[in-house]
A and B are shown apart, each in its own frame.
Chain A
Amino acid sequence: MSAAPSATLAAAPASARPTRSRSPVLPITIGAVLVIAAGFAVPAWLLTILLFALFRAMVVLGLIVLLRAGLVSFGQALYFAVGAYAVGFLSRAGVNDALVRVLAGALAAGALGLVLGFLLRRYRGIFFAMLSLAFSMILYGLLVKSESLGSTDGFAIHATTYAGYAPDRSSERFALLVLSSVVAWAGAIAVALYLRGTLGRLAEAVRDNEIRVEYLGASVAMAVHVKYVIAATLAGVGGALAAMVIGHVDPAMAYWTNSGEFVFVMILSGSGSVFAPFLGALVFELIHAVATHYSPGAWRIILGSALLAAIMFVPGGLWSLMPKARRS
């Protein structure tokens, strides 16, 4: 009866069950500390990959919140770009503080998500995907048309400061890693707690049976809307981090292929845990680095093959391969 569009993808393994779930705070904190510690040890190129994986994972974290409800957005680049351009506008106004930038990215994207959510919450399946794509392409068109924002060239972002402290060039990357890790830590905990709550678990209920949800006195539209805003906010945070890490914003951030990459990482990750996007994003960046390094003229063959292999052989995403998740 309920043709859940993404049933197999979203089938959450044991960790999503409401059985005695332990607090997510400790493992996530350990994860964040490990990432920061890695920042001391790894070479510069790996640090870059970690930074990219972290901001990408924030967007994908939002996507799995949607995916739990059976929804896949092909337009998450919209909020990613909004978050990035929010940092861009702040940078132009001379505001370079990390916290302000992250909050601005989150707020701008979240606010837009709140508005568009009133429309998108009525859609499901492929129509949800396509309408979100249409909105992202409209933003892309607007940015391309904006000569004052540098059109397709975009513009540069000033270096980030931390409550008045401006790291020198040698520690600038590491400071960004600490920032990204702390933000990711907060985001992952928030999402983990949300997914444990009634509203969060409603996601699977919505995917399974919207009518029953309504007849239990809950609003499907509201549940979807909340998820949409969460996903938008996280994408905005990811975009804000990206703007700071890359030091530049441009309209390609809103282009549909960018959305496609986020969904790619989501498929690669699986939705079983809030850790999954981080693992998936890291693997994606590594594959990408290896592919562009060994065959700069044909790296998409490698990337595409990796994606195909993931879809064919690891339908639950990489996380489903982790020893702990395999119990179910």
Chain B
Amino acid sequence: MTTAPILEVKRLEKRFGAVVAATGIDVEVRPRDRIGIIGTNGAGKTTFVNMVTGYLEPSGGDIRFEGRSVLGRPPREVTRLGICRSFQVPQVFGSRTVLENLVMALALAEATGLALLADPWTSDRAERARRTLAEYGIGDQADREAGLVSQGVRKLLDIAMAMAHRPKILLLDEPTSGVSQEEKLAIMATVMEALDREGVTVLFVEHDMDIVARYAGRVLAFMEGRIIADGPPQDALNHPKVLEVIVGEGSFSGARATQREPADA
């Protein structure tokens, strides 16, 4: 633990009127960390992700990435710095094919200025996109419209698009929600393998404690806008509060989790 933190969150706060969605959040993330974020609905997990990625402006506190504050930067700048994310409800271009979605993502990541006027559709890019889709196990879906493929495929596409920028940190917001129990493990296996190859630091919000236990090297437990536990899975998941409030609900949540979407904003 001697390396400098890649992401530091200090005394982060977010209030919506009288509602406190986050308060006193302190987190230090080191390169190549695998952090699972757990908590009940409304605990502040997605709010946390939204603040780190610039979608929500914190009411107080600071977020520093590689030593620099990223407060006040909109999502696209945060993305360009190297913090990317996926979404609980996959955000894809529904009227385009899976392949086109990824080509577009690659083009936007690679082109700036006048190069944006060029046709994104180069044979090189298409080739790489097909290869990536194959790596994510959805190569056979490449030419289907993204609005029509299964939720699992969309989830993977969503993550693949987030990876187009070759981020240093990737935040996954419930990567396995809304898909069947069998698909969950397959998705996590595929995604984590791809992320390992790239050496990306990962924070993932997850309700399924088995997945958390299997893939997280560290767990952050949220409750009522605070972090109530932060540590290795065996410690955090056995924290009394966590056991009582989160795990108790979450360990059997497989069936219910599928119905929970759309969840907290």
Contact = CB atoms under 8 A, between A and B. Distances in A.
Interface of A: 1-2, 7, 11, 17-19, 21, 193-194, 196-202, 204-205, 207-209, 211-219
A218 B116 CA distance: 10
Contacts of A207: 95
A214 to B, nearest CB: 4
Given A196-B121, A200-B117, A217-B79, 11 more contacts: A18-B120, A19-B121, A202-B104, A204-B95, A205-B96, A205-B104, A209-B94, A211-B91, A214-B76, A216-B79, A218-B108
Interface residues of B, number: 36
B111 A212 contact: no
Given A204-B95, A208-B95, A216 B74 contact: no
Given A18-B103, A216-B104, A199 B164 contact: no
Given A194-B117, A198-B104, A201-B104, A217 B92 contact: no
A198 B76 contact: no
Contacts, number: 96
A193 B164 CA distance: 25
Nearest to B165: A217
Nearest to B123: A20
Sort A-B residue pairs by CB-CB distance and give the 8 closest, nearest first. A212-B91, A208-B93, A18-B121, A217-B79, A198-B120, A197-B117, A199-B116, A214-B75
25 contacts: A11-B95, A17-B100, A18-B100, A21-B119, A196-B119, A197-B117, A197-B119, A198-B108, A198-B116, A198-B118, A198-B120, A200-B117, A205-B93, A208-B96, A209-B92, A211-B91, A214-B74, A214-B79, A215-B75, A215-B91, A216-B104, A216-B108, A216-B109, A216-B165, A217-B165
Contacts of A199: 116-117
Interface in B76-128: 76, 79-80, 84-85, 87, 89, 91-96, 100, 103-105, 107-109, 111, 115-121
Given A198-B117, A217-B76, A217-B109, A7 B95 contact: yes
A272 to B, nearest CB: 13
Nearest to B110: A198
Interface string B162-181: 10110000000000000000
Interface of B: 53, 55, 74-76, 79-80, 84-85, 87, 89, 91-96, 100, 103-105, 107-109, 111, 115-121, 161-162, 164-165
A181 B89 CA distance: 48
A2 B75 contact: no
Given A18-B120, A197-B116, A197-B117, A215 B111 contact: no
Contact of B164 (A198, A200, A205, A216): A216
Nearest to A216: B108
A164 B79 CA distance: 54
Contacts of B89: 1
A205 to B, nearest CB: 5
Contacts of B115: 198
Contacts of A193: 117
A316 to B, nearest CB: 14
A196 to B, nearest CB: 5
Contacts of B161: 212, 216
Chain A CB count within 10 A is highest, among B53, B109, B120, for B120
Given A18-B100, A204-B93, A217 B120 contact: no
B95 A216 contact: no
B261 to A, nearest CB: 11
B70 to A, nearest CB: 14
A215 B79 contact: yes
A209 B93 contact: yes
